[in-house]
Amino acid sequence: MSPTRHAGPAQLAEMIAGSLRGRVEEAFPVAPLTTYRLGGKAELYVEPAGAHDLVALGRALKEAGVAAGEIPILALGRGSNLVISDEGLPGIVLRMGPAFSWIEPRPEHPGLVAGASTPLPQVANWAARRGLSGLEWLVSIPGSVGGAVRMNAGAHGGETAGALVTATVFDLDELALVKRPPASLHFAYRRSSLTERDVVVEATFELDRDNVARIKARMENYRKHRAQTQPGALQNAGSVFKNPEGDSSGRLVEAAGLKGFSVGGASVSDLHANFFMAGPQASAQDVYDLVHTVRALVRDRFGVELEPEIRFAGRFRPAAGAEVADGG
């Protein structure tokens, strides 16, 4: 539901801006904040200056007469697995900006504590320089700490849940900062139980000590593997589908003869079939249509239902190609 039920965007923005130290803007273009660089504007954009702004935001929403959950809130990290609708987004896009990008040593034990917006490759390099092992695989993921916790990011046999000690989460409904152990986050393959009303603020990771040279060698192998097997500079959002148990989504898409397959300005990569590219003329709807058409074609060919790993935010039209493949 849009904020216009209780107050217009301008009125709500004014109320929020009067409570926060951080950035509050209306009709804000958020496409540049995603790796696809597609989509429309956010009705309201909020970039907190610290945890105190999260508390202030929750209070401002309640003072505006908005019941819990009535205003959609999308927590945005580095936008590396997100496609925003061409129509834009109603409600609030909440982005953890520079104030949440930092790394500190873990007190008393090997490890580190990092803010939610800290880039994952930066975390991997920080740990490597200090002889801390366990997060080398982060070097190949263009996401943020908050996104890694929310989606249980993983690569090269590692995943966030394996090293996480606690995640500090702010509940926008209860206005409370809570330290959550991994067991309470119900981690599964590329998912957790966190909702859009749960904002990751920081995360603590337990690591092992190892030789710096060995750690950096592993990281370099991960970098080389990514460069050799995945498209780099082109607009994409990483892996499109989660791997089904015992198989590879990329293998299934390729086996269906879909490398290079395109819808509008979006196409399946010729290098890795689980990466979808957005060309210069692509729209967010093109990406949506391509994902759902490929999903339907793979299901029709192999009887396997691929689950998208990337997220779609906002309103999208049903994918015509998917309807045809479904027999609709």
Provide the token pair at 215.
């750690």
- The secondary structure of 255-277 as a DSSP string is HTT-TT-EETTEEE-SS-TT-EE
Burial of 267 (0-12, 13-18, 19+ CB in 10 A): buried
Please report, to the nearest 10 degrees, the dihedral formed by the alpha carbons of residues 58, 60, 56, 145 taken in order. Answer: 40
Residues annotated catalytic, as ranges: 190, 239, 309
Count CA atoms within 13 Å of residue 252 on its CB side. Answer: 24
Task: Report the C-alpha gap between 214 and 225 in whole angstroms.
Answer: 17
Task: Report the C-alpha gap between 328 and 120 in whole angstroms.
Answer: 42
- Which is nearest to 278 in space by CA: 310, 318, 326? 310
Which residue, chain included where needed, has tokens 């702010």? 170
Residue type, 43: E
